């Protein structure tokens, strides 16, 4: 039981030292990309890029991004997705797109590390549809100055960037066409299969912060920061014996709040409930990371 607690506390200390939350984040929409490499949470710039955010959420809410896969990864530059689907029934090509969205680039939202921006056609600033990318480095000198600038419409949370970096570290293969820099997992043969690509299993939209309980905010943060223990990263919620909890079938683990404390339970290891700390401290950590 103490092993789980020891593994969480170093992360707690590291995150506390990063003051990343802003008023803008607190007022923005957050979505979670559930990928086969872990959850990626994005804080959207609803007010600063309203048309781009509305376009992105249209794809999210329609389910268009389900079974999408990351089709481009260039070290130190970008990781790109939003275009191509590979459901269980077989590779399905490019998803159906909505009409292009008007470019909303602004120098106040630069293409720096951790930001999310729309991909588009060369020579047409207003051609963005479904594809988007994560900036792995400071690409401002390049992407802010060409083709009308690439519209940044959100930022990845700190735990989410750890997953993005994990994807960026994967080997890539040249599969031709749009897939000249295709990241692959456990691939050593000549035929790329569905299990070799990094897929989105689903995309969920969090309720506004004003509609979330303190427990929700702490749980959402813990899921993103420690997906290896809280898997899948959207646990079954419930209330029992005074505890507000989420259960994670993938790891057979519980996290819960009660009496202003955060608790955990790993039934496969021990029947005893362990203490992670007080809710106020974890809520502060979550807020610093944008939750």
The full 3-state SS of the chain, as one line of letters, equals: CHHHHHHHHHHHHHHHCCCCCCHHHHCCCEEEEEECCEEEEEEECCCCCHHHHHHHHHHHHHCCCCCEECCEEECCCEEEECCEECCCCCCCEECCCCCCECCCCCCCCCCCCCEEEECCCCCCCCCECCCEEEECCCCHHHHCCCCCCCCEEEEECHHHHHHHHHHHCCCEECCCHHHCCEECCCCCCCCCCHHHCCEEEEEEECCCHHHCCHHHHHHHHHHHHCCCCCCCCCCEEEEECCEEEEEECCCCEEEEEECCEEEEECCCCCCCCEEEEEHHHHHHHHHHCCC
d(CA 164, CA 136): 8
Percent of the chain predicted with pLDDT > 70? 91
d(CA 289, CA 19): 8
Q: Which residue has the higher pLDDT, 240 or 12?
A: 240
Instruction: Write down the pLDDT at residue 207.
Output: 92
d(CA 206, CA 192): 34
Predicted confidence band of residue 7 (pLDDT cuts 50, 70, 90)? very low
What phi, psi does 52 have (nearest 5°)? -70, -40
Residue 12 has pLDDT above 50, yes or no: no
Mean pLDDT of 129-146: 98
What phi, psi does 89 have (nearest 5°)? -75, -10
Sheet holding 274-278, edge to edge: 236-240, 243-248, 253-258, 261-265, 274-278
Predicted confidence band of residue 11 (pLDDT cuts 50, 70, 90)? very low
Of the listed ranges 16-25, 134-143, 252-261, the least confidently predicted one is 16-25
Instruction: Write down the pLDDT at residue 27.
Output: 63
246-263 pLDDT tens trace: 999 999 999 999 999 999
Predicted confidence band of residue 240 (pLDDT cuts 50, 70, 90)? very high
Pairing between β-strand 261-265 and β-strand 274-278 as defined by DSSP bridges: antiparallel
Q: Which residue has the higher pLDDT, 15 or 182?
A: 182
CA atoms within 13 A on the CB side of 39: 27
d(CA 78, CA 100): 21
Instruction: Write down the pLDDT at residue 15.
Output: 36
154-180 pLDDT tens trace: 999 999 999 999 999 999 999 999 999
Q: Hey, what's the torsion of the CAs at 159, 41, 208, 64, to 10 degrees?
A: -170
203-223 pLDDT tens trace: 999 999 889 999 999 999 999
Instruction: Write down the pLDDT at residue 28.
Output: 84
Q: Hey, what's the torsion of the CAs at 55, 57, 62, 64, to 10 degrees?
A: 80
Residue 193 has pLDDT above 90, yes or no: yes
Predicted confidence band of residue 94 (pLDDT cuts 50, 70, 90)? very high
Predicted confidence band of residue 232 (pLDDT cuts 50, 70, 90)? confident
Mean pLDDT of 78-83: 98
Query: What does R_g of the chain's alpha carbons equal in angstroms?
Result: 20
d(CA 114, CA 165): 10
Name the maximum alpha-carbon separation found in the chain: 62
What phi, psi does 76 have (nearest 5°)? 75, 0
Q: Which residue has the higher pLDDT, 8 or 287?
A: 287
Cβ contact 274:6 at 8 Å? no
Of the listed ranges 2-6, 189-193, 200-204, the least confidently predicted one is 2-6
């Amino acid at each position: 039981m103490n092993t789980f607690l020891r593994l969480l506390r170093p992360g707690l200390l590291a995150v506390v030292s990063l003051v990343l939350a802003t008023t803008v984040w607190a007022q923005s929409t957050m979505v979670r990309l559930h990928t086969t490499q872990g959850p990626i949470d994005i804080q959207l710039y609803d007010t600063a890029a309203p048309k781009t955010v509305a376009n992105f959420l249209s794809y999210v809410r329609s389910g268009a991004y389900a079974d999408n896969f990351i089709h481009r990864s260039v070290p130190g530059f970008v990781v790109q997705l939003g275009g191509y689907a590979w459901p269980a029934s077989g590779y399905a090509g490019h998803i159906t797109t909505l009409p292009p969205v008007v470019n909303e680039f602004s120098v106040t939202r630069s293409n720096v590390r951790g930001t999310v921006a729309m991909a588009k056609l060369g020579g047409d600033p207003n051609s963005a549809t479904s594809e988007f990318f994560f900036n792995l480095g400071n690409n401002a000198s390049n992407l802010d100055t060409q083709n009308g600038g690439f519209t940044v419409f959100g930022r990845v949370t700190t735990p989410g960037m750890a997953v993005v970096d994990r994807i960026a570290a994967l080997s890539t293969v040249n599969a031709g066409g749009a897939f000249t820099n295709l990241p692959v997992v456990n691939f050593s043969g000549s035929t790329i299969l569905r299990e070799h690509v990094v897929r989105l299993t689903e995309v969920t939209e969090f309720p506004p912060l004003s509609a979330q309980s303190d427990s929700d905010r702490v749980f959402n943060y813990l899921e993103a920061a420690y997906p290896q223990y809280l898997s899948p990263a959207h646990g079954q919620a419930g209330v029992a014996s005074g505890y507000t909890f989420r259960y994670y079938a993938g790891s057979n683990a519980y996290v819960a709040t009660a009496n202003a404390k955060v608790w955990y339970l790993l039934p496969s290891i021990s029947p005893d409930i362990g203490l992670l700390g007080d809710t106020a401290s974890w809520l502060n950590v979550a807020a610093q990371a944008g939750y």
